Amino acid sequence: MDRELAPEIVRQSRTKNYIIVFVVLVVAGIAIYFFRRVLKTSVEASRIRTATAEIGPVENSLSATGEVIPAYEQIITSPIRASIRRVLLTPGTQIKPGQAILDLDKSLTLIEFEKMKDQLALKRNSIEQLRMKLNKNLFDAEADDQIKSLNINRLKAELEDARRLLKVGGQTQEDVTRAENSLRIAELEKKKLENDLSYNRQSMGASLKETTLQAQIEEKNLSELDRKLNQANIIADRPGVLTWVNENIGSAVNEGEILAKLADLGSFRIEGSCSDVYADQVKAGLPVIVKVNETNLRGLITQVKPSVKNGVIQFVVQLNDNHHASLRPNMKVEVFVVTSQTAKAVRVANGPAFKGKKNQFVYILNNQGIAQRREVQVGLSNFDYVEIKSGIQPGERVIITDLSEFEHLQEITIDNHAN
């Protein structure tokens, strides 16, 4: 005879069965959830972005960074050795022409200026003394020459008298010979005096010319120093903004040392930089697109700096519109160097779906809300557009959102009613 089971045993058995059924249901639910995830073939429309293929130009560009700097920056240097007495303006100040920036102590240079003036006066005085001395020497030589001429005339007369007396027996031949020799000596002495006179005239001109040139050099040096003293009044000669000034009051500055920088904020240029991997592609003359906030500005590379620093090459961009209102000094901007371009191509707005591969798969959305997987060949690309060489026709809608999770599906349904 069967004995009835105790209630406690029946209760434990039922609980155990309930637990088993619950675990099986949970496992089945999880399996169904992941199975549905794997087989899911629809995407909410709010998750995707599309772009319509069109015909237009496409430019291939390299990404770089840039900084906006004033197109023209005047560097004001010290024209003399001096010290900074006062700083009249601070960086960031708008400056008008004629406005003083710094006040320099010019006392040392003024002393040197006065010394040079005295030296020039002494040189001019020495020129006058030399001219007087040379004139005296020239006068003495000319007088000696005239005296020698008179003496020669006298000796000629004596020779004629000796010859006449010789004929009448009043003189001997020795007296005539003596008179002839005296005349010949006097003529040679006169010739020597004439040669000395000619030399004195030439040397006088040369000596005066040399001394005069030395005085002219000192006069030019004095004028140059006077000009530098006038420039030592550090005054702006054009409108702009003071971007930097030496504010070390009392410090000594040498000639040529930078005192201030004045920028013209009416026009700007871009100093760009990119990886040296692109060194063979970045060249002067290439067009450039500069992205300033939401504005694209065009320009050209005017200079590529020859040196490479820390794996980076630098270049200068001249903007077509260098007065644009969005430009600000020291602003960081995106720069895109256009290395090649196609004037007429099938293009699609760039997006995460394009991963830089030449051949890849994208989804084309039709009017029924079905996205079909299609292989395309990609050409040139930039931050705005991607060139499609094959696989897409103008007018077709391309999903530019990254749908890598559905890459195993040939078709995807775009659900416009999903929450």
pTM score, two decimals? 0.51
- Residue 121 and residue 112: Cα distance in Å, rounded? 14
- Residue 419 and residue 414: Cα distance in Å, rounded? 13
Q: Between 308 and 105, whose confidence is greater?
A: 308
Locate the domains of the chain by residue range: 43-58+345-415, 64-69+265-343, 73-106+232-259, 108-229
Mean pLDDT of all residues in 56-84: 85
Q: Between 105 and 51, whose confidence is greater?
A: 51
The pLDDT value recorded for residue 175 is 72
Q: Is the pLDDT of residue 400 over 60?
A: yes
The fraction of the chain above a pLDDT of 90, given in percent, is 11
Q: Is the pLDDT of residue 143 over 80?
A: no
Contact 184, 229 (CB under 8 A): no
Q: Output the six-digit token pair for 143.
A: 């007088």
Q: Is the pLDDT of residue 187 over 90?
A: no
Q: Between 110 and 350, whose confidence is greater?
A: 350
Mean pLDDT of all residues in the chain?
81
Q: Output the six-digit token pair for 148.
A: 């020698």
Q: Output the six-digit token pair for 180.
A: 């002839």
Mean pLDDT of all residues in 11-21: 69
The pLDDT value recorded for residue 316 is 93
Give the pLDDT band (50/70/90) at residue 4.
low
Q: Is the pLDDT of residue 66 over 80?
A: yes
DSSP secondary structure code for residue 114 in this structure: H
The pLDDT value recorded for residue 419 is 41
Q: Between 319 and 140, whose confidence is greater?
A: 319
Does the domain at 64-69+265-343 match CATH 3.40.50.10480? Answer given as no
Give the pLDDT band (50/70/90) at residue 371.
confident
Rg (CA), the chain: 51
43-58+345-415: CATH number: 2.40.420
Mean pLDDT of all residues in 26-37: 61
Return phi, psi of residue 71, to 5°.
-65, -35
pLDDT winner (highest mean) among 8-12, 135-139, 338-342 = 338-342
Amino acid (1-letter code) at residue 346: V
Nearest CA to 142 out of 108, 214, 193 is that of 193
- Residue 63 and residue 393: Cα distance in Å, rounded? 28
Strand 411-415 to 42-44 pairing: parallel
Nearest CA to 380 out of 334, 345, 336 is that of 345
Q: Angle at the Cα of 399 (from 398 to 404), degrees rounded to 5? A: 130
Give the pLDDT band (50/70/90) at residue 121.
confident
Q: pLDDT digits over 302-324, tens only?
A: 999 988 888 899 999 999 998 88
Q: pLDDT digits over 281-302, tens only?
A: 899 999 999 998 888 899 999 9
pLDDT winner (highest mean) among 36-40, 154-158, 211-215, 384-388 = 384-388
How many C-beta atoms lie closer than 10 Å to residue 414's C-beta?
A: 20
The pLDDT value recorded for residue 65 is 93
Q: Angle at the Cα of 364 (from 360 to 368), degrees rounded to 5? A: 160
Q: Helix and strand tally (H, E) in the chain?
A: 3, 19
The fraction of the chain above a pLDDT of 70, given in percent, is 90
Does the domain at 73-106+232-259 match CATH 3.30.420.40? Answer given as no
Give the pLDDT band (50/70/90) at residue 380.
confident
Give the pLDDT band (50/70/90) at residue 38.
very low
Map residue 387 onto helix, strand or coil. Answer: strand
